């Protein structure tokens, strides 16, 4: 296009995601521009988009001037202080009525603050979670915009065009007010942590417990991905178990150090879940195991102190693999259920008025946690939009009742063999107490009253009570 062209949309940050989203927009007929301080990233965009209505700029003022008004600009930069720095640089160059979008993984409390600050300056702002990685951004992501609804409606035609589509419907919807879009994306990532940990545990069980080789493990993941466990994460796992290290005849997975990194969204999910008193132990265990994996030296020391024989599981392999498939399906349901319960609590506490059915609907395509089971979640909330907990849905109840026995069989064998399966264990314990009509928490409350006079309530009797526990009754 000529230098006088005005572009309909601008992107700040031309890394993999930002560049891919711009090219996706250009593919759908939108004239778009991008800016990055890194000249090589600007050059990459201009090279990849040379036959499209897209242009990269190194100068921010020139970039701003190239956009049609009211300007619509999306930031895809690392969360935290960098987002504030970009906003501070942009705002003097913007006019009232311009739209600014944060498409990164910002903490929702930061988004709340920025909403207020930018609204005071007459700018429209909203936070939008974007999931799907590089491929999703380029071919169709799942997007979770929340905040200024008027601003979203301006952007809606672009976002609906570039989103992934399932059954002809775009995987993007207005989430709700304030920072709801970033909150939902954070919980999406928390569920993702849980699912990834569960898959890692199946790998450990097959490798150490069943003594299966990589080829056989890969075959299991391929088979699972063809059935009810079909999902993006299972799909990429089967591919990982078919990828040799370059120039070798062994899998790359065997060369990768067993230390998992994280960018913080899983930790944030656990932290806010505790604030909202929404238990998510499957997700919590996944966050903890990533943290534990980083202590490689300590683990190596401990392995010499607490040596043990090679794990052995005295099981029928084929029967056990069937149980493992059930255990994963059961625990996957629990991970999703915990995440949806957290969203329910957040919707009430923060007045987000979340439509959980719509959220499940847009997660069915484009995003990292997309799976066949999301159709069941969508149907559950379609049948009852006020459903208090996913495990109370009749269809989900049938699936859980069918598969929980597999979880019990797997955990019995792994515990006996000394193979860690913390996410499986957390899922089963959560379920067993969720369905427990009378938990042993009465003893906890009695202890609290004993040492701290915290009082207690009685069954069938109004009021709160305190007892002098050292005083003997006559």
Q: Does the annotation place 131 within a ligand binding site?
A: yes
- The yes-or-no answer on residue 259 being catalytic is no
Tokens of 80: 């935290």
Rounded-to-integer distance, Cα 320 and Cα 92, Å? 63
Task: At 243, list the tokens.
Answer: 């990828």
Residue 209 CA to residue 219 CA, distance in Å, equals 17
**Annotated binding-site residue? 267:** no
Q: Cα–chain-centroid distance for residue 151?
A: 25
Residue 46 labeled ligand binder = no
Which listed residue (185, 238, 361, 409) is catalytic? 185
Is cis: bond before 471, omega within 30 of 0? no
Compute φ and ψ for 445, nearest 5 degrees: -70, -35
Q: What angle do CA 129, 132, 136 make, to 5 degrees?
A: 120
Answer yes or no: is 167 a known binding residue: no
Q: Is 456 annotated as a binding residue?
A: no
Count the Cβ atoms, other than its own, within 10 Å of residue 394.
Answer: 9
| Residue 132 assigned ligand-binding role | yes
User: Is residue 192 annotated as a catalytic residue, yes or no?
Assistant: yes
Secondary structure of the chain as H, E, C letters: CCCCCCECEEEECCCHHHHHHHHHHHHCCCCEEEECCCHHHHHHHHHHCCCCCEEEECCHHHHHHCECCCCEEEECCCCCHHHHHHHHHHHHHCCCCCEEEECCCCCHHHHHHHHHHHHHCCCEEEEEEEECHHHHHHHCCEEEEEECHHHHHHHHHHHHHHCCEECCEECECCCCCCCHHHHHHHHHHHHHHHHHHHHHHHHHHHHHHCCCCHHHHHHHHHHHHCCCCCEHHHHHHHHHCCCECCCCCCEHHHHCCCCCCCCCHHHHHHHHHHHCCCCCHHHHHHHHHHHHHCCHHHHHHHHHHCCCCCCCCCCCHHHHHHHHHHHHHHHHHHHHHHHHHHHHHHHHHCCCCCCHHHHHHHCCCCCCCCECCHHHHHHHHHHCCCCCCHHHCHHHHHHHHHHHHHHHHHHHHHHHHCCCCHHHHHHHHHHHHHCCCCCCHHHHHHHHHHHHCCCEEECCEEEEECCCCCCCCC
Q: Which of 192, 201, 267, 409 is catalytic?
A: 192
Give the sign of the dihedral formed by CA 387, CA 389, CA 391, CA 396. positive
Q: Is 448 annotated as a binding residue?
A: yes
The reply, when asked if residue 65 is annotated as ligand binding, is no
Q: State yes or no: 395 annotated in a binding site.
A: no
Could you list the active site residues? 185, 192
Binding site listing: 105, 131-133, 188-189, 193, 263, 290, 448, 454
Annotated binding site for substrate: 105, 131-133, 188-189, 193, 263, 290, 448, 454
């Amino acid at each position: 296009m000529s230098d006088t062209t005005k572009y309909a949309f601008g992107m700040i940050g031309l890394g993999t995601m930002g560049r891919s989203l711009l090219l996706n927009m250009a593919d759908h007929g939108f004239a778009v521009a991008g800016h990055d301080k890194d000249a090589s990233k600007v050059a990459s965009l201009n090279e990849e988009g040379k036959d499209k209505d897209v242009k990269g700029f190194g100068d921010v003022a020139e970039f701003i001037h190239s956009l049609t008004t009211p300007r619509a600009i999306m930031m895809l930069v690392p969360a935290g202080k960098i987002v504030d720095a970009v906003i501070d640089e942009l705002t003097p160059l913007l006019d009232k009525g311009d739209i600014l979008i944060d498409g990164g993984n910002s903490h929702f409390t930061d988004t709340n603050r920025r909403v207020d600050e930018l609204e005071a300056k007459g700018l429209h702002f909203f936070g939008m979670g974007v999931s799907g990685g590089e491929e999703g951004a380029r071919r169709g992501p799942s997007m979770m915009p929340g905040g200024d609804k008027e601003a979203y409606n301006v952007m809606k035609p672009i976002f609906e065009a570039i989103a992934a589509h399932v059954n002809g419907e775009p995987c993007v919807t207005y989430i709700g007010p304030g920072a709801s879009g970033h909150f939902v994306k954070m919980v999406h990532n928390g569920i993702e942590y849980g699912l990834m940990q569960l898959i890692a545990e199946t790998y450990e069980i097959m490798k150490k417990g069943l003594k299966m080789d990589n080829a056989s493990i890969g075959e299991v993941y391929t088979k699972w991905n063809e059935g009810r466990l079909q999902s993006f994460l299972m799909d990429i796992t089967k591919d990982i178990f078919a990828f040799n290290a370059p120039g070798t005849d062994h899998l790359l997975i065997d060369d990768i150090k067993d230390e998992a990194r994280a960018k913080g969204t899983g930790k944030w999910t656990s932290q806010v879940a505790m604030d909202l008193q929404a238990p998510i132990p499957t997700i919590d265990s996944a966050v903890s195991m990533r943290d534990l994996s980083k202590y490689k030296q300590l683990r190596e020391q401990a392995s010499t102190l607490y040596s043990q024989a090679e794990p052995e599981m005295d099981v029928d392999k084929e029967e056990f693999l069937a149980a493992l498939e059930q255990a994963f399906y059961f625990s996957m349901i629990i991970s999703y259920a915990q995440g949806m319960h957290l969203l329910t609590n957040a919707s009430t506490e923060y007045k987000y008025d979340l439509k959980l059915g719509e959220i499940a609907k847009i997660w069915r395509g484009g995003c990292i946690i997309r799976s066949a089971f999301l159709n069941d979640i969508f149907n559950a909330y379609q049948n009852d939009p006020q459903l208090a907990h996913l495990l109370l849905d009749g269809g989900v109840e049938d699936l859980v009742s069918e598969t929980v026995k597999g979880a019990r069989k797997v955990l019995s064998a792994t515990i006996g063999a000394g193979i860690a399966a913390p996410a499986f264990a957390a899922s089963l314990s959560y379920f067993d107490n969720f369905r427990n009509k009378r938990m042993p928490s009465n003893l906890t409350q009695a202890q609290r009253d004993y040492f701290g006079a915290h009082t207690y309530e009685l069954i069938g009797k109004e009021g709160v009570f305190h007892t002098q526990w050292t005083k003997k009754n006559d």
